Amino acid sequence: MVLVLIALPLLAGSLLLLLPQNDRRWSRSTGCIVAAITFVLPLAAGGSGSFSAHWLSRPFAASFDFAWNGVSLWLVLLLALCTFCAILATNMVQARTMIALLLLLEASMMGLFTARDVLLFALFWDVMLLPPFFALLWWGPERKTAWRFIIYNFSGGLLLLLATAAFGVLSGSTDVIGSTHQFAGAWAPWIFAGFAIAFAVKTPLWPLHTWMPATYADLPPPMVSVISAVQSKAGLYGFIVIALPFLRIAMIQWSALFVALALVSLLYGALIALTQSDIKRIVAYSSLSHLGLIVLAIFCFNAIAVQGAIAYIVAHGLFSASLFLILGYVEEREETRSIAHLGGLGKSNPKLAGAFTIAALAALGLPGLAGFVGEIVILTGVFRAGYFWPALIALVPIVLASAYMLRLLQDTINGPEVAALPKRRDLTVLEGLAVAPLLVALFVLGVYPAMIWR
Amino acid sequence: MMTANYVALATVIFFIGAAGVVVRRNPLIMLMSIELMWNAANLLFLAFARAWYNNAGHIFAFLVITVAAAEAAIGLAIVVVVFRSRTNVDVDEVAILKG
Amino acid sequence: MMLLVIWLLPLLGAIVNFAFGPQLKRSAGIIGSALVGVSLIATLAEWAPATTGAGATLGVRQHLFAWMPGFDFGLLLDPLSLIWTLIITGVGFLILLYSIGYMWSDEAIARFFAYMDLFVFAMLTLVLSDNFVGLLVGWGLVGLASYFLIGFWFFKPTAVAAARKAFVINVVGDVAIMFAIFIMFAKIGSLSFSAVFAHVPMLDGWLFWTCTFLFIGAAAKSAQIPLHTWLPDAMEGPTPVSALIHAATMVTAGVYLVARCWPLWNASHEAQLLVGTTGAVTALAAAVLGIAQWDIKRILAYSTMSQIGYMIMGVGVTAYQAGVAHFFAHAFFKACLFLGAGIVIHELADEQDIRRMGGMRARTPVAFWAMFAAVLAISGVPLFSGFFSKDQIIYGALAHGHPWMYAAGIVTAGITTFYMFRLFFVTFFGTYRGDLNPADVGVEHPEEPTSHEPQHGATHPPAWIMALPVAILGVFSVIAGYVMIGSNSPWSRFFRPVFGFEKLPPVAISEIWTSVIVLVCVAIGFAVAYWRYATPEALADAPARLRAETHRMPRVLVRLYYFDDLIDLIVVKPAQALGTFFGRLFDPMVIDGAVRGVVSLSDAAAERIRDWQDGLLRVYALVVVAGAMCFAIYYALQGAAR
């Protein structure tokens, strides 16, 4: 059952790449059906059904072990939903290639999120870096960004692999995700450091973030929406399912550092987002800020904070995916990403403005939408864990978030219309359908968040 | 006592092969020298298999012969391709694959 | 069940108006206001159950669903929330009715009513919630509705900027309440009102901080100094918005919060002092600013700030029911003033500067009479509603031992009378000055009215639709105080189950004498206003006198005590400077510089090492053989050593 999640998008993606069929509609509907199946399947199976097969016995035990439950189920659903929406929103000339890459990305990350073996996790980690790399190479304005992305993230992946190998050799098995036995010893802090650096690069966490703004700005909208929504969660997922259960002692040793880095990320990202002029970079830096909050939650070792982190992982995925898709629509209409040259879009595009408003409000943590739930539960946990000052400082970026998100929103859709451009058509049905599921999910999880923790 | 003789012979053959690879500039001679080294290894396999009454050595000898054949095939192919466009046959001339 | 009806009907109105706006056109207004009207009727029907019971069983409760780990979301209607619900739905209904006329010729009328209904829903969430998180949700959502409505004319840059400012300052308040929630959850482990108030001692050392953070939220929402600067700017929104959100209901949420959390304030004397002082300072400072304004809506905005200062002072000194009483009276007379001003503004095609008005008595008689009643009410003239509620607060300040707040309250009463009659005389008396050259009356930069896009030749709304609500509110401005007469009034009996019975200690100046002193101040204020603006000579010479007053206005008042400049200097500018520094310099140079340093380091190293790879096959072979020899010799030596 689980294997279908990986095999189906892999198969469909490879076929799309290899077959000469080049009809945009055909590839889009194929992609959508595949993504929809991967969304419905885990729901129908209700988290049961796993797969396990022997792989290695020396130098340490490893197996092809996949399962979906708990955190991974939410990430699998988020991934499937975001992929579905991204494929639906794919509207470029080379749609077939993009959709194929999106499906391959989905396959690799499905593997990552369902793997129960750390070695498998590390392998899928490296594979998932390839689709965005090729997207950057083929669509990005600069090849440099692609190489920068891949080298930076592969360096992290290499450390992850080393740490995994050390972990496997010292503990005898890597088939451990889902169990809880503490790993201690002289090597534990080093193994944790290896994992942590890889995760921190991918998240990203200050100061390992400089690959991110250019990558997010240069990737085409469908790809960046999945990358920022789901791939950036791979590191956080790793912290939750690998570091927290097995390396907690080492984690506690390092926690002061990571709490500090998380706070710096929070403030630093928010301050930069306040003054950026490229709309995609504003959201990129806001991601740095928002994900810092999740890192803070994880390193407080408080059950409530971790629950909040899971809620916020889902919420951030939903609103950043929709924001990037919407920014793609804006860019397509206005042919610029510079905030100084945008304005008044709401007059001719009321639907686009409405969708943008909901996404931006979710991002700034409006009560009633999913982002708020994550923020308040995380910080309640952080405070309860005794971190008085971090909880207080973490409130500042929330205020800043409202400032930069409103700047982004208002300077795009409000104000006098930009006269130089002809009137643009409003959202088409297809474009609307591509963001609607994300926005509805933001509402539902904001009003009734208890379902996340069930 | 017997085994020691075989080992000595294999060592001599091996070093003849190694010297051939290092000293000669003709790629065909180099390939032949490599074959010599393979055979030195083979000789050892057989000698020890006999000394210890263990047939694994025989099996490995066959494996080595197979691999050596494959290696020779690839090596000759490369030699043919590389020197098709050249007049003389000298490995020192072919040094374009460098940093 | 009934609670759900009260709570959700306005939401239904918002959804219908959002979804079917373009088809509905003007009937959007009828749907939008009628649903709020039904909600009002439902509230009245719940009057009896909401006021029965005592302690934990007081009022009506409705459990909704589990919301977060550790607590559930529910609704509560007790006397305190009942009063707010009545004002929200009642005054809200009248204002919505009025809006049908006011927004008659606006294309986006359905969007307007959708936002208004969303606001009513959000405000009801705020006051009906039985826990702090629900209150915070409502708190954020009213901020959102306020943001939408201030920026309703979103093509107007000033409106957009005002909306953003209001939202961001209110988020400061939101996160402060959030922090108070963290404290309460960490110390008490629950967030429902009943549980928190039953375990106030568990907050021990954190009590003052809880109160402080709650009050920062209250101050941001209720425009108390120093978080007040958004309110005058918020007047960019349509006038009914100012009446409903920025006068009658939303800005009093801070009063509601403090009154709701009275067990916390009762336990912390420092918190009382903080809240009372802020209220008194705001009441006085805002009243002084009211003198210096010329925009009719801005005068009313500062008077709102000042009156809320009174309420905050009242609840701060633990005179809770006096504070709530003033909220009740204020809702009527301030809504009446705004709606009356709206009629005047409408009549003059969006002119808002009182220097360019004058003589409006004949042109807008309904507004004249209704606003006359409301001005008397806000001034605290006996027999009008403000008299009863305001004097209770002023006397309460003295009775609870805060003589200087008492003094501030009395002085403010005099100033209030002055600036309200100034507005009243300049607007309604004398002759119309709008056709004079703007510079002649002191207006240097006349604003181009841009708020409406009037469709000329379109139909006009029926006259009663705007007049009737104003008249009703005028009547209530007179009579709303009659329930508050005496120490055993219906009002105090109504709130006894909530706040308990409080007997004030006797003080040096009795309640009667307090009223006399206040009245003397009010009379002085009126006399000065009359002498400056309404004597026959003053009326004849109005343009010159207004021009002279404009030029003589102290700069500190014109610049609004420099609060905007100060916030800009110590918050906005540094944040932007830091953002620019990090984004333009630190990020690309230092952090990315380090990354690029690693890259160039490995580049340089590769430059050296690449020479070793010389492409000579025989050299490689030699190295391999040499390496193998090294290993062989090493192992041979080891074997020999063994």
Tens digits of per-residue pLDDT, A302-338?
888 999 999 999 999 999 999 999 999 998 888 888 8
| Interchain proximity C178–A395, CB inside 8 Å | yes
Query: Is the confidence at residue C453, as pLDDT, over 60?
Result: no
pLDDT at A158 (0 to 100) = 94
Query: Is the confidence at residue C456, as pLDDT, over 60?
Result: no
Query: Is the confidence at residue C269, as pLDDT, over 70?
Result: yes
Name the C residues in 213-272 with CB < 8 Å from any A CB: none
- Confidence class for position C205, pLDDT limits 50, 70, 90: confident
| Token output for C403 | 């003589």
Q: Which of A207, A346, A367 sits opposite C136 (nearest CB)?
A: A367
pLDDT at C92 (0 to 100) = 93
- In whole angstroms, give the CA distance from residue C3 to residue C259: 21
**Cα dihedral C284, C286, C291, C297 sign:** negative
Tens digit of pLDDT for each residue in A386-438?
A: 899 999 999 999 999 999 999 999 988 888 877 666 666 788 888 889 999 99
pLDDT at C619 (0 to 100) = 87
pLDDT at C455 (0 to 100) = 45
Residue % of chain C over a pLDDT of 90: 44
Å between C638 CA and nearest CA of chain B: 19
| Interchain proximity C609–B99, CB inside 8 Å | yes
Q: Which of C613, C618, C625 sits opposite B98 (nearest CB)?
A: C613
In this prediction, residues B23-39 reach a mean pLDDT of 91
Tens digit of pLDDT for each residue in A129-167?
A: 999 999 999 998 989 999 999 999 999 999 999 999 999
Does B86 or C175 have the greater pLDDT score?
A: C175
Q: Which of C69, C154, C582 sits opposite A271 (nearest CB)?
A: C582
Query: Is the confidence at residue C457, as pLDDT, over 50?
Result: no
Å between B27 CA and nearest CA of chain C: 10
Q: Which of C611, C615, C625 sits opposite B97 (nearest CB)?
A: C615
Residue corresponding to tokens 């793609």: A328
Q: Which of C157, C176, C592 sits opposite A415 (nearest CB)?
A: C157
Name the A residues in 59-98 with CB < 8 Å from any C CB: none
Closest CA to C589 of A401, C580, A145: C580
Å between C609 CA and nearest CA of chain B: 8
- In whole angstroms, give the CA distance from residue B12 to residue B16: 6
Half-sphere exposure (Cβ direction) of C556: Cα atoms closer than 13 Å? 4
pLDDT at C552 (0 to 100) = 86
Residue C186 in contact with partner chain A when CB distance is under 8 A? yes
pLDDT at C458 (0 to 100) = 55
| Interchain proximity C69–A453, CB inside 8 Å | yes
How are beta strands A62-66 and C60-68 bridged, if at all? unpaired
Query: Is the confidence at residue C305, as pLDDT, over 70?
Result: yes
**Cα dihedral C399, C400, C406, C409 sign:** negative
pLDDT at B99 (0 to 100) = 67
pLDDT at C256 (0 to 100) = 94
- In whole angstroms, give the CA distance from residue C397 to residue C411: 14
Half-sphere exposure (Cβ direction) of A41: Cα atoms closer than 13 Å? 22
- In whole angstroms, give the CA distance from residue C422 to residue C442: 16
pLDDT at C194 (0 to 100) = 86
Mutate to test the interface with B, among C616, C617, C623 (most CBs of B within 10 A): C617
Å between B16 CA and nearest CA of chain C: 12
| Interchain proximity A152–C595, CB inside 8 Å | yes
Query: Is the confidence at residue A48, as pLDDT, over 80?
Result: no
DSSP string, B23-72: H---HHHHHHHHHHHHHHHHHHHHHHHHHHT-THHHHHHHHHHHHHHHHH
The ipTM estimated for the assembled molecules is 0.92
Tens digit of pLDDT for each residue in A18-30?
A: 887 677 888 889 9
Query: Is the confidence at residue C522, as pLDDT, over 70?
Result: yes
Which chain C residues are within 8 Å of B97, Cβ to Cβ?
Answer: 615
| Interchain proximity B21–C625, CB inside 8 Å | yes
pLDDT at B42 (0 to 100) = 94
Which chain C residues are within 8 Å of A207, Cβ to Cβ?
Answer: 591, 594
| Interchain proximity C167–A416, CB inside 8 Å | no
Look up the pTM and report it: 0.89
Which chain B residues are within 8 Å of C603, Cβ to Cβ?
Answer: none
Which chain C residues are within 8 Å of B91, Cβ to Cβ?
Answer: 616-618
Q: Which of A380, A384, A450 sits opposite C67 (nearest CB)?
A: A450
pLDDT at A421 (0 to 100) = 64
Inter-chain CB pairs, B–C, below 8 Å: 36
Q: Check: CB of residue C394 under 8 Å from CB of residue C413.
A: yes
Question: What DSSP character marks residue A219?
Answer: S
In this prediction, residues C482-510 reach a mean pLDDT of 80
Å between C537 CA and nearest CA of chain A: 46
Backbone angles phi, psi at C261, to 5 degrees: -95, 30
Name the B residues in 53-92 with CB < 8 Å from any C CB: 91-92
- Arithmetic mean of pLDDT over chain C: 88
DSSP string, A312-348: HHHHHHHHHHHHHHHHHHHHHHHS--BGGG---HHHH
pLDDT at A45 (0 to 100) = 80
Tell me how far apart the terminal alpha carbons of chain C are, to the nearest angstrom.
Answer: 93
Mutate to test the interface with A, among C118, C155, C576, C585 (most CBs of A within 10 A): C155
Residues 6+ apart with CB under 8 A from A451: A445
Query: Is the confidence at residue A383, as pLDDT, over 70?
Result: yes
Residue A173, helix vs strand vs coil: strand
Residue A267, helix vs strand vs coil: helix
Query: Is the confidence at residue C69, as pLDDT, over 80?
Result: no
Query: Is the confidence at residue C454, as pLDDT, over 60?
Result: no
Query: Is the confidence at residue C70, as pLDDT, over 70?
Result: no
Å between C581 CA and nearest CA of chain B: 42
Residue % of chain C over a pLDDT of 70: 97
| Token output for A172 | 């005898």
Q: Which of C609, C612, C616 sits opposite B92 (nearest CB)?
A: C616
In this prediction, residues A230-254 reach a mean pLDDT of 90
In this prediction, residues C146-152 reach a mean pLDDT of 92
| Token output for C141 | 């959502």
Tens digit of pLDDT for each residue in A108-121?
A: 999 999 998 999 99
Name the B residues in 7-46 with CB < 8 Å from any C CB: 18, 21-23, 25, 30
Closest CA to C179 of C150, C143, C217: C217
